[in-house]
């Protein structure tokens, strides 16, 4: 597992790419309150079951390709939650499932909010 930071994530929100996917492992009731732009929600509570779904059903439910699919091993999967703890669990589960190119957004959504607020404040100054 590798760690990524805000500076690595911000460009993906402005110009999403097919070779990197941001995966929010928080529960839907948390995501409603806000998330990182261009991310997809795959709650940790459904994570292991979801990886067992066939590719079409997974994409229909979650909006992106199943990272456990044999066709998707070149894509970077970047996991985040609120603080990084659940993202670390998701990274561990993904590793055990043989998923490659796994990253944990260090600080996760809390870090995202802090950096975005700092950028907004700097723009006002």
Tokens representing 36 are: 């990182």
- H or E element in which residue 3 lies: strand 2-4
Average pLDDT over every residue of 119-123: 85
Residue 125 clears pLDDT 80, i.e. is over it: no
Model confidence pLDDT, tens digit, residues 7-63 = 999 999 999 988 999 999 999 999 999 999 999 999 999 999 999 999 999 999 999
DSSP state of 37: T
Tokens representing 72 are: 């998707």
Give the Å distances, CA to CA, from 59 to 40, 64, 67. Answer: 11, 5, 10
d(CA 46, CA 116): 29
Pick 123 or 42 by higher pLDDT: 42
Catalytic residues: 81
Tokens representing 43 are: 């709650």
Question: Which of the four pLDDT bands, split at 50, 70 and 90, describes residue 71?
Answer: low
Tokens representing 112 are: 């995202």
d(CA 111, CA 68): 27
- Where do the structural domains in the chain lie, given as residue ranges? 2-124
Average pLDDT over every residue of 93-108: 94
Total residues belonging to the chain: 125
Architecture of the domain delimited by 2-124: 3-Layer(aba) Sandwich (3.40)
Model confidence pLDDT, tens digit, residues 78-94 = 999 999 999 999 999 99
């Amino acid at each position: 597992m590798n760690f990524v930071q805000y500076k690595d994530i911000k460009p993906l929100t402005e110009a999403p790419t097919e070779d990197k996917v941001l995966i929010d492992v928080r529960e839907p009731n948390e995501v409603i309150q806000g998330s990182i732009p261009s991310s997809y929600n795959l709650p940790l509570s459904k994570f292991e079951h979801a990886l067992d779904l066939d590719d079409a059903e997974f994409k229909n439910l979650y909006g992106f390709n199943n990272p456990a699919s044999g066709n998707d091993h070149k894509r970077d999967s970047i996991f985040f939650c609120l603080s990084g703890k659940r993202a670390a669990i998701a990274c561990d589960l993904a590793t055990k499932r043989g998923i490659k190119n796994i990253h944990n957004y260090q600080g996760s959504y809390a870090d995202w909010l802090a950096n975005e607020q700092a950028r907004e404040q700097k723009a006002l100054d």
